[in-house]
């Protein structure tokens, strides 16, 4: 069973701090990695994707990928209360002849003023 693991949280950080969200995956063949943000009662929104080892930055968000350690993380700089949401890590896995996204259970982030 190919799995994606995340700490369920809640991860509580003060406003202005860096929030660090982590994800590990079991399928060594995975090539594509995604972070989704989901507000309560809403659908997941794609905020970052990364395909190569290293860092990828987009505004206040940085995705980090280490395929050797099977580890992907999301850093949110200058965290705002509006960043409070559940963050889902998703990994593309080749299964049954086709690619499929496997989601972690999500980490709940709470940014307090």
Is 100 an interacting residue with respect to other proteins (CB under 8 A)?
Answer: yes
Cβ 45 to other proteins, closest distance in Å?
Answer: 7
Residues 55-94 that bind other proteins (CB under 8 A): 88, 90, 92
Nearer to other proteins, 80 or 95 (CB): 95
Given candidates 53, 66, 80, 95, which one binds other proteins under the rule CB under 8 A?
A: 95
Is 106 an interacting residue with respect to other proteins (CB under 8 A)?
Answer: yes
Residues 20-49 that bind other proteins (CB under 8 A): 32, 34, 36, 42-46, 49
Stretch that binds other proteins, among 16-24, 66-74, 77-85, 96-104 (CB under 8 A): 96-104
Q: Is 31 left (phi over 0), alpha (psi -120 to 50) or beta?
A: alpha
Is 113 an interacting residue with respect to other proteins (CB under 8 A)?
Answer: no
Return the structure tokens found at 51. 């395909």
- Mapped to the 3 state alphabet, what secondary structure does the chain carry? CCCEEECCCCEEEECCCCEEEEEEECCCCCCCEEEEEECCCCCCEEEEEECCCEEEEECCEEEEEECCCCEEEEEECCCCHHHCEEEEEEEEEEECCEEEEEECCCEEEEEEC
Q: Which residues bind other proteins (CB under 8 A)?
A: 32, 34, 36, 42-46, 49, 51, 88, 90, 92, 95-106
């Amino acid at each position: 069973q190919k799995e994606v693991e995340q700490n369920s949280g809640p991860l509580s950080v003060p406003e202005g701090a860096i929030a660090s969200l982590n994800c590990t995956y079991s399928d060594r063949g995975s090539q594509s990695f995604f972070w989704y943000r989901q507000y309560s009662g809403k659908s997941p929104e794609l905020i970052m994707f990364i395909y190569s080892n290293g860092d990828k930055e987009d505004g206040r968000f940085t995705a980090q990928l280490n395929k050797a350690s099977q580890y992907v993380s999301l850093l949110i700089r200058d965290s705002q209360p509006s960043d409070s949401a559940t963050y889902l890590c998703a990994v593309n896995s080749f299964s049954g002849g086709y690619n499929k996204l496997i989601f972690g259970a999500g980490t709940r982030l709470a940014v307090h003023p």
